[in-house]
Structure 1
């Protein structure tokens, strides 16, 4: 005879309402769409279209209620603790392949070719053409399909994603709004490392200025006038006693002669000595 159904099956089922959380991580969007930037919107659109279908919306209530206790993003994925209706929070993991040094070297090389990419990233923006940059390297920035995403949750829900996973996706999207480097961090490159590499590549590719050299190499010619400059600056010779003609008349005379005329021979003699 088949086993009789367990009359207490409902004890193992999760109640509809989650336990209330104080100080949890919640999204700012109270209604409507969550993403504010094109890149976080693209992230959610990819999930909805090619990864999880229409089940993503199940997590909005959890995300808005602040049921996520913790969320850490690192190369290769994100891990979170989500409070459901049971006493123990559920452990949630979202995995995405992280690229290695060789792959990121190729991506960074393409990014360095256009200064607008680095400028956008420095300004807290994800460049519009960044997906094309990844595609040139044969890679993808956003999840490329179901095989590009791993989703785990310790809850008893058999649906994937469950509402706990979906809630994490919405919080991730809002984090990407505020910091696009979080999206790049999932793929294996943090902000400081990427920007340092971009600066180095841009500096190495910049052409040297004509005649550039060390300060020591140019010191001898630093104050040298250019061709013809000395001739252009030179004016008519000034008599050495011209200063005496600019002085006011002195009421003092020496043996009946004005003081300026007494001094004039001396000024002329000094002028003649400086020219020799």
Structure 2
């Protein structure tokens, strides 16, 4: 613990700043945040880095857990942010309130000079800050200039009215709450480092104007006469060869990665089905892996785009993941099927996706031209005398003596089906030849 920060005991005034307005450019006061459940305190990478600095520094993990509970319960009052310090009144579970401060070393004038010079040279950094973003390359460029913006281990110094010598539940709760504020506005961190938003932007504008003026003067001094005939197009096009080729695509993982664990010390919101969420996350990861593998397969760009799935189709896709019985029952109910109907839909999906599912469930009547082509294909599929007796009805040709059937899909392919206890079930993938499809239904292929 160092004494480089002065610790004043006057409680800050929250009157008149309940909506988060600036008390001045040297202080911002944010109204107390509402209780929060079922989410992390930091969504942004810089907010997570702030919390990592806290969690790497604190010696008592139980105090951190207690701080998280207080922050989630809304026990942290209005938060005052000033250069080098953040302050709030925090209530504990016993009803007592304590003033909590967390101190962070301000940047020196020399460090600010280097940071501002770096930011002016890269206009994208300023644009990102104005969008309330802190991209990693901004922090990396600042570090290369010798300026550490984000705190590290030991940089967050606690002060609390409860007289704890290390981070207590009150200072931890304040840090967790501040992470939520940092998510919304990274200028909060820059204010703690010593510059308010207005002052910082004014300094950047002054430097930008000076840099632009100096650049214009240099360009005028070095300017060469412009060729009235312009620039040769061939020469300009050839300059593109200077650029390096794009790197090769990374290899596709052999399988989908593990899904995040939902087993945390925070109770889920009432009505949340954790097991169902874990199942959905696992299936989403598997589907993302399938889509990535498909996208990197040669010829993918030549395929026609597919429409999105309906709720009924997506329920079958999820059921194809072999879920537990209770999940399968919920999927059957949600898709408007009974258990046997879902069991029949799963192999249809596995054999042909949404097209296979459509052939299973939709009976349609081909138009005259399509019906004529289908009859010709059936007649030509077998040699004379070898074609089994088939009875045709709409898009279905049934060989009753073998309990098999072939169905014509709307894409012109033939799908094999086999009868089982009065229900027609998919027997394999589609084929372009009706004889091959019927052989698959019989079991010869």
**What TM-score, normalized by structure 1, do the two folds share?**
0.61
Provide the secondary structure at the position in 2 that maps to 1:97. Answer: coil
Match of 1:204 in 2: 210
Q: For residues 106 and 69 of structure 2, what CA distance do their matches in structure 1 show? A: 30
Answer 1 or 2: higher relative contact order, Cα 8 Å, separation at least 6: 1
Q: Decide whether the 8 Å contact of 1:93 with 1:152 is kept in 2.
A: yes
Match of 1:140 in 2: 148
> Do the aligned partners of residues 196 and 152 (structure 1) sit closer, same or farther apart at CA in structure 2, a change above 3 Å counting?
same
Unaligned stretches of 5+ in structure 2?
Answer: 1-30, 221-445
Q: For residues 185 and 52 of structure 1, what CA distance do their matches in structure 2 show? A: 27
- Please give the per-residue CA displacement for 1:127-157, whole angstroms capped at 9, x wherever unaligned: 32222233223232122321x221011226x
How many matched pairs?
Answer: 188
State the 1:28 CA deviation.
5.7
Provide the secondary structure at the position in 2 that maps to 1:200. Answer: helix
Q: Does residue 151 of structure 1 match 2:158?
A: yes
> Do the aligned partners of residues 123 and 183 (structure 1) sit closer, same or farther apart at CA in structure 2, a change above 3 Å counting?
same
Match of 1:74 among 70, 82, 92: 82
Match of 2:73 in 1: 65
Match of 2:40 among 33, 38, 52: 33
Unaligned stretches of 5+ in structure 1?
Answer: 1-23, 212-276
- Please give the per-residue CA displacement for 1:250-271, whole angstroms capped at 9, x wherever unaligned: xxxxxxxxxxxxxxxxxxxxxx
- Please give the per-residue CA displacement for 1:79-113, whole angstroms capped at 9, x wherever unaligned: 11111255652011101111132221111101111
State the 1:26 CA deviation.
3.3
Q: Does residue 183 of structure 1 match 2:189?
A: yes
Q: Over aligned residue pairs, what C-alpha RMSD do you find? A: 2.6
> Do the aligned partners of residues 169 and 27 (structure 1) sit closer, same or farther apart at CA in structure 2, a change above 3 Å counting?
farther
Match of 2:125 among 98, 103, 117: 117
State the 1:53 CA deviation.
6.9
State the 1:204 CA deviation.
1.8
> Do the aligned partners of residues 52 and 74 (structure 1) sit closer, same or farther apart at CA in structure 2, a change above 3 Å counting?
farther
Q: For residues 86 and 50 of structure 1, what CA distance do their matches in structure 2 show? A: 26
Provide the secondary structure at the position in 1 that maps to 2:77. Answer: strand
Q: For residues 104 and 58 of structure 2, what CA distance do their matches in structure 1 show? A: 12
Q: Decide whether the 8 Å contact of 2:107 with 2:194 is kept in 1.
A: yes
Matches within 5 A, 1:237-256: none
- Who wins on radius of gyration, i.e. which is larger? 1
Q: For residues 182 and 145 of structure 2, what CA distance do their matches in structure 1 show? A: 23
Provide the secondary structure at the position in 2 that maps to 1:201. Answer: helix
- Please give the per-residue CA displacement for 1:18-66, whole angstroms capped at 9, x wherever unaligned: xxxxxx8235641242111111111112222345574533211111111
Provide the secondary structure at the position in 2 that maps to 1:93. Answer: strand
Q: For residues 46 and 198 of structure 1, what CA distance do their matches in structure 2 show? A: 29
Q: Decide whether the 8 Å contact of 1:27 with 1:170 is kept in 2.
A: no
Match of 1:48 among 55, 59, 74: 55
